[in-house]
Structure 1
Amino acid sequence: MTVQDVQSFVAGQWLEPDSGARDIADAATGKIIARAGRDRLDTTAMIDHSVTVGSPALKAMTFHDRARMLKALALYLQDHKQVLYGLSFSTGATQKDHLIDVDGGIGTMLVIASKGRREMPDSHVYLDGGTEMLSRKGSFLGQHVCTPLHGVAVHINAFNFPVWGMLEKLAPTLLAGMPAIVKPATATCYVTEACVRLMLQSGILPDGTIQLVTGGTGDLLDRLGSQDVVSFTGSADTAFKLRSAPTLLRESVRFVAEQDSLNASILGNDAVPGTPEFDIFIKEVHREMTTKTGQKCTAIRRIIVPDSQVDAVISAVSSKLADTTIGDPRDPKTRMGALVSQSQRRDVLEKANALGQEAERVFGDPDAFEVQGADAENGAFLPPMLYHCADPDHATTVHDTEAFGPVATVMGYRDIDHAISLVNKGAGSLVASVITHDPDVAREVVMGAGAYHGRLYFNNRDSMDEATGHGSPLPHMVHGGPGRAGGGEELGGVRGVLHYMQRTAVQGSPDILTKVTGQWVPGSKTVKGPEHPFRRTFHDLQIGESLTTSERQVSIEDIETFAHFTGDTFYAHMDEDAALRNPFFPGRVAHGYLLLSFAAGLFVDPDEGPVLANTGLNTLRFQQPVSAGDSIHVHLTVKKKTPRTDTYGEVRWHVLIRNQKGETVAEYELLTMNAYEAAA
């Protein structure tokens, strides 16, 4: 059998392993299939290549450019994923496991790309929050902005997800505008290397945006500075060693860690056998114990159930585990494959033996189990092992020792406060789940346990058909956790992108802020266009282009007609005496929505043109009542433009409705979709 030399991609060149290489075995057969690693690694050249080649290329692109790049990259990987499937079997993963790692990674990249197009501007500066008024007259304002860091992101990933683990970090990093150096765990780096080769082969990524280190990182971390980021996934011991590196501390290098986690699942006391919730709970526990052979950072390690249901849960889970086929991961009939390596198998057994000092093993014997169609002696196989801790209040090991494999412990609780106390004994986790149909229980858990967990997952009969599962981090939601889980945070949509950017408070005049942010700020200069703005295409419209309309007087007949036509006969519009008793009104007043309708009548151009649709309005505020006899006019200004498709983009208009005294009556943001080109 040919042994693969897993290469590193350094400063634009592929480098073979050298004398520092380490052998890698097939998880299911124990046979050596690859070697990876180098003693000689020019880390100075790597950092320089990222900063001088990759970084400028990415920063020249807008957020939308980078989002389109990510989408194209994900679709390319989608078309070539069979290559990654074929290699991943050697990690001990089954075909279903591949869906989590390979398809999950590609899906994550697609979501991050979509978030970039929908939630970030087509420019180089991201706005964090709204404009802050720092002066009485509005001539001095503040705005928080985010811009990409000027260094390199070093991603140190775990062995269990060689594709997802890379892509879930890489997508937000590239969207932010930072190049990356990827360092996968050696045990499965051959899958990561294949994925990187595909990405480079696609020709989509600019030079210098990604580099790959298979094996040790050498002195790379010693050469980082304040503009760099280290994102780590792995054990707590390794995380502590890395984050304690003198250079990282001295240079205040950002360090994101996702590490050991004693995740737990609570069975609500309403979820008794025979209820949908009990069945959901058993299914979730079984899935988390066996998927990826329990080698998931989000897997359930502690099973917390009412005292009265301990025996029923043990029986039901054991029955499901007994039907779990263990064997060759390439066999479609296999439900659970092998651990990633013999060393990992030994580690899991060591941790399981430690758990056995405080808990009784009630299912799974590592010395007597059946492996189908595979080398049980040389492969890194273990059975799922279920433990029962009868005294979780006085136990310590079950709450602080993670056996990173198919191992979990059942423990009973007296009431929901006791369950919360037990789930928090893990001192910080990535996820805790609660299976209950009682919303009051859900609220109690959020209030009592939320501070200890990065994610709280609730499921019951109402959500079970669409719920994604306890152990599934979603790119839309934050992934990370406090305390033992590392104190880090990844994903969460645009939140994950901001970890690779610097938030800066910018202060200045409205004109300064308009130029910096790329969107019009109230108080800054406006310009009158050559014609009605609704007759101008998306590309023709300029930020700050403005229209001031003629006036329209509001009559008592207008108010009454609108009231009867719409059915809105609220007393402030129809009863003078009642309106006078209201502290907000000087008497009968016009409906706010009547004013919006009149405003539209003042500024809308009726003819067919580039404006395709009005898609809504934001931040509407009515600031001054309008009485019969008052007049209103509108100031309409182009605030922001965002491309949406190949043919049209979104225009956000700042709208001010003012009365005859110049007082602001209402203020809002109008959204329209405008064509890039005029109709033929």
Structure 2
Amino acid sequence: MLDVQSFAAGRWVAPGSGARNIASAISGEVIARAGNDALDVQEMLSHAREVGGPALRKMTFHDRARMLKALAGFLQERKQALYDLSYDTGATLNDHKIDVDGGIGTMMVFASKGRREMPDAHVFLDGPPEQLGRSGQFMGRHICTPLQGVAVHINAFNFPVWGMLEKLAPTLLAGVPAIVKPATATCYVTEACVRMMLDSGVLPEGAVQLVSGGLGDMLDHLDCQDAVAFTGSADTALELRGNRNLMENSVRFASEQDSLNASVLGPDAAPGTPEFDLFVKEVQREMTAKAGQKCTAIRRIMVPEDHVGAVLEAISTRLLKTTVGDPRAEDTRMGALVSTAQRADVLEKAALIGKEAERVFGDPENFEVAGADAEKGAFVPPMLFYCREPDTAQRVHDTEAFGPVSTVMAYRDLDHAVNLLNRGKGSLVASVITNDGAVARELALGSAAFHGRLYFNNRESMAEATGHGAPLPHMVHGGPGRAGGGEELGGIRGVMHYMQRTAVQGSPDILTAIGQQWVPGATEISDRAHPFTRTFGDLDLGETFNSPSRTVTLEDIETFAHFTGDTFYAHIDDEAAKANPFFPGRVAHGYLLLSFAAGLFVQPDPGPVLANTGLDNLRFMEPVAAGDSIKVRLTVKHKTPRNEEYGEVRWHVTLTNQDDKPVAEYELLTMNAY
């Protein structure tokens, strides 16, 4: 018997009054208990706000990204213990890998994105500056800063590790502490993972707390600086969303809930094509992975009328090979549902679907369970239904049996397929298996508004595609309507859920000071040695080099044209160039100007500049003709440390002509030694 503890205000708290027993999904035996009605939720909130939050906000985005990477590495070395513990949830080893490895991988992605896409600073800049005044001395831009409260994460039972880590990663990267409340049925796995993270010594005190059991009245004490992220049923989401305190204080509430996800077989994907075989494989996998207990699992299967018989036969044949039994056995392909209560719920929902559809595979009253007692465990067979009248049916479009249950239905044409897709009233994901771009486009235009993610797959992408049911941290995970209206994950978008976007307005110097990024018009420092002779650590924002001028000759233009092979008429044919509305006659190549610019600002001797790694945001503003001259202003715009040896310097580069008019502008990237 495991006593699943909570971690509250820096200490572990054993189950107490209100504790619930937790049974093994395999044997039905009680294996753990969790819950404590005596948790001091006010103390937990204060601990997060006053200890965890300040500690996290002292760190930069890069500090927090490194913290995530260290946590992921620590868990990676200990994941076998999480696998072993997870079998009693009814999951197989492959299911554990989706949960545990998927969670660790998600944390690694956010760690990487934090280093690559966010600054080594405390403020995230959302978009470029906006000039609000005529002369450029009154500017504005949007900044994002961490909420100064706590994120309360309420997670579902099906992914006790991934469900926690996919919320924790963007929250901690944003700089916000979290209180994690896993579903009681599988909280013993979550507790083990939290213990590992705390044992790593990587997390600052107060960054993560754990509630094993109920939250009590915690939601009644949240305010505008807090956030709630929920995964679970639509009914529970509605109850939580309706909390009066959350509404009065405009507490952020993100929900990922019920979803009648669908998969469409394109009209081109006939039996015998690679797409047909792929479709059948994906459906079978999504029906049986985690015993169908995935928010992204395929619940509705839409196929062309001519292929219904072939699809039913092919899916049934694959399901016949799905061994149901003890998930610890190597030959088991589908384990148990999480609990006997969940089994009862799935069977009840399957019966509702059965009033509108014929069950063509899987009899819950007569199926084999290998290596376990079917009566004591929470086992069901995969169940495939066929709905002959999908246009008049209701339950197949609004009832989610959260288990290995799915329904096939026919569509007449693509308009009909779109209509059936959208009958789900909002889904996390829909997949389309087709090798026809026109089919993909029509279905995307018709149904994207009803789905958080559209997954297209065919013979070209199948070797690399991750699958219909695999939310990736790079992309949005959520959906409109009954799916909850949320957008978890999505790369840096997911981090923004835990930050406040604020418009700041002021002079270029003020915006530079706030954002730690030089803004054009701000003070320039030009009385120092050439910036290319100065180390990364010595360079200051606004440090500027102004070059001498150089006259561009006709010989320069012709030499560059013939040397590079770029003999575009604007550079070699004066009459044709004059006929062009953009040019006064023959003009210099844009890339000739960039080359001359480098010659004007580069300091050639060995020094701190290690490499030129590229340029961004290049634009040409005025043509340069023979006889014109150019000069360069090179300014340190931003600095990003990369490791202990070097950092990236972003330079703002402006080329002007003899009349001081800008002719080109871009950002140069270099790696500079410390």
Aligned residue for 1:352?
Answer: 350
Unaligned runs of 5+ in 2: none
Aligned residue for 2:505?
Answer: 507
Aligned residue for 1:532?
Answer: 530
Give 1:432-511 correspondences, 5 Å limit.
432-511=430-509
> Which whole-Å deviations, capped at 9, do the CAs of 1:124-158 have from their partners, x for residues lacking one?
00011111111221111110000000000000000
Aligned residue for 1:306?
Answer: 304
1:151 match: secondary structure: coil
> Which whole-Å deviations, capped at 9, do the CAs of 1:31-80 have from their partners, x for residues lacking one?
00000001112010000000000000000000000000000000000011
1:93 match: secondary structure: coil
Aligned residue for 1:160?
Answer: 158
Give, in angstroms, the shift of residue 571 of structure 1. Answer: 1.2
Aligned residue for 1:377?
Answer: 375
Please tell me whether residue 581 in structure 1 is matched to residue 584 in structure 2: no
The whole-number CA distance in structure 2 between the counterparts of 1:608 and 1:450 is 54
Q: 1:282 aligns with which of 280, 283, 296?
A: 280
Aligned residue for 2:601?
Answer: 603
Letter in 1 for 2:599: G
Q: 1:201 aligns with which of 199, 202, 215?
A: 199
Letter in 1 for 2:635: T
Give, in angstroms, the shift of residue 593 of structure 1. Answer: 0.6
Q: 2:214 aligns with which of 194, 212, 216?
A: 216
1:484 match: secondary structure: helix
2:666 match: secondary structure: strand
1:237 match: secondary structure: helix
Please tell me whether residue 52 in structure 1 is matched to residue 50 in structure 2: yes
> Which whole-Å deviations, capped at 9, do the CAs of 1:267-302 have from their partners, x for residues lacking one?
000001110000000000000000000000000000
1:387 match: secondary structure: strand
Aligned residue for 1:231?
Answer: 229
1:528 match: secondary structure: coil
Q: Structure 1 residues 425 and 554 mapped into 2: Cα distance closer, same or farther (>3 Å)?
A: same
Letter in 1 for 2:136: G
Aligned residue for 2:544?
Answer: 546
1:232 match: secondary structure: strand
The whole-number CA distance in structure 2 between the counterparts of 1:491 and 1:534 is 40
Please tell me whether residue 266 in structure 1 is matched to residue 264 in structure 2: yes
Aligned residue for 1:415?
Answer: 413
The whole-number CA distance in structure 2 between the counterparts of 1:211 and 1:38 is 14
Aligned residue for 1:40?
Answer: 38
Aligned residue for 1:117?
Answer: 115
Q: 1:651 aligns with which of 642, 649, 652?
A: 649
Aligned residue for 2:617?
Answer: 619
The whole-number CA distance in structure 1 between the counterparts of 2:303 and 2:132 is 54
2:477 match: secondary structure: strand
Please tell me whether residue 561 in structure 1 is matched to residue 559 in structure 2: yes
The whole-number CA distance in structure 1 between the counterparts of 2:364 and 2:533 is 75
Give, in angstroms, the shift of residue 529 of structure 1. Answer: 5.4
Q: TM-score, normalised by structure 1?
A: 0.99
Please tell me whether residue 640 in structure 1 is matched to residue 638 in structure 2: yes
Aligned residue for 2:590?
Answer: 592
Give, in angstroms, the shift of residue 530 of structure 1. Answer: 2.9
Aligned residue for 1:325?
Answer: 323
Which aligned runs of 4 or more in structure 1 are off by greater than 4 angstroms?
A: none
Unaligned runs of 5+ in 1: none
Letter in 2 for 1:655: V
> Which whole-Å deviations, capped at 9, do the CAs of 1:345-382 have from their partners, x for residues lacking one?
00000000000010000000000000001121100000
The whole-number CA distance in structure 2 between the counterparts of 1:166 and 1:326 is 28
The whole-number CA distance in structure 1 between the counterparts of 2:357 and 2:131 is 60
The whole-number CA distance in structure 2 between the counterparts of 1:478 and 1:334 is 32
Please tell me whether residue 572 in structure 1 is matched to residue 570 in structure 2: yes
Aligned residue for 1:139?
Answer: 137
Q: 1:296 aligns with which of 294, 297, 316?
A: 294
Aligned residue for 1:107?
Answer: 105
Letter in 1 for 2:252: R
> Which whole-Å deviations, capped at 9, do the CAs of 1:154-202 have from their partners, x for residues lacking one?
0000000000000000000000000000000000000000000000001
Q: 2:366 aligns with which of 359, 365, 368?
A: 368
The whole-number CA distance in structure 1 between the counterparts of 2:293 and 2:645 is 46
How many residue pairs get matched?
Answer: 674
Give, in angstroms, the shift of residue 646 of structure 1. Answer: 3.2
The whole-number CA distance in structure 1 between the counterparts of 2:390 and 2:369 is 33
1:150 match: secondary structure: coil
The whole-number CA distance in structure 1 between the counterparts of 2:623 and 2:134 is 23
2:431 match: secondary structure: strand
2:127 match: secondary structure: coil
Give, in angstroms, the shift of residue 648 of structure 1. Answer: 1.6
1:507 match: secondary structure: strand
Aligned residue for 2:66?
Answer: 68
1:130 match: secondary structure: strand
> Which whole-Å deviations, capped at 9, do the CAs of 1:381-423 have from their partners, x for residues lacking one?
0000000000101111000000000000000000111101100
The whole-number CA distance in structure 2 between the counterparts of 1:237 and 1:646 is 51
Aligned residue for 1:182?
Answer: 180
Identify which range, 610-619 or 91-100, moves more after superposition.
610-619
The whole-number CA distance in structure 2 between the counterparts of 1:603 and 1:611 is 13
Percent identity between the aligned chains? 72
Q: 1:252 aligns with which of 250, 253, 259?
A: 250
Letter in 1 for 2:213: G
Identify which range, 95-104 or 127-136, moves more after superposition.
127-136
> Which whole-Å deviations, capped at 9, do the CAs of 1:11-43 have from their partners, x for residues lacking one?
001001112000000000000000000111201
The whole-number CA distance in structure 1 between the counterparts of 2:529 and 2:324 is 73
The whole-number CA distance in structure 2 between the counterparts of 1:31 and 1:353 is 27
The whole-number CA distance in structure 2 between the counterparts of 1:410 and 1:55 is 49
1:59 match: secondary structure: helix
Give, in angstroms, the shift of residue 528 of structure 1. Answer: 2.1
Please tell me whether residue 97 in structure 1 is matched to residue 101 in structure 2: no
> Which whole-Å deviations, capped at 9, do the CAs of 1:277-331 have from their partners, x for residues lacking one?
0000000000000000000000000000001111110000000001101101111
Letter in 2 for 1:75: G
The whole-number CA distance in structure 2 between the counterparts of 1:179 and 1:150 is 9
> Which whole-Å deviations, capped at 9, do the CAs of 1:444-489 have from their partners, x for residues lacking one?
1111100000000000000000000000000000000000000011
Give, in angstroms, the shift of residue 657 of structure 1. Answer: 0.2
Letter in 2 for 1:653: W
2:487 match: secondary structure: strand
Q: Structure 1 residues 125 and 576 mapped into 2: Cα distance closer, same or farther (>3 Å)?
A: same
Letter in 1 for 2:219: L
Letter in 1 for 2:503: A
Aligned residue for 2:667?
Answer: 669
2:53 match: secondary structure: helix
Give, in angstroms, the shift of residue 116 of structure 1. Answer: 0.2
The whole-number CA distance in structure 2 between the counterparts of 1:442 and 1:639 is 43
The whole-number CA distance in structure 1 between the counterparts of 2:170 and 2:107 is 8
Letter in 2 for 1:651: V
2:478 match: secondary structure: strand
Q: TM-score, normalised by structure 2?
A: 1.00
The whole-number CA distance in structure 1 between the counterparts of 2:286 and 2:644 is 43
Aligned residue for 2:17?
Answer: 19
The whole-number CA distance in structure 2 between the counterparts of 1:551 and 1:353 is 82
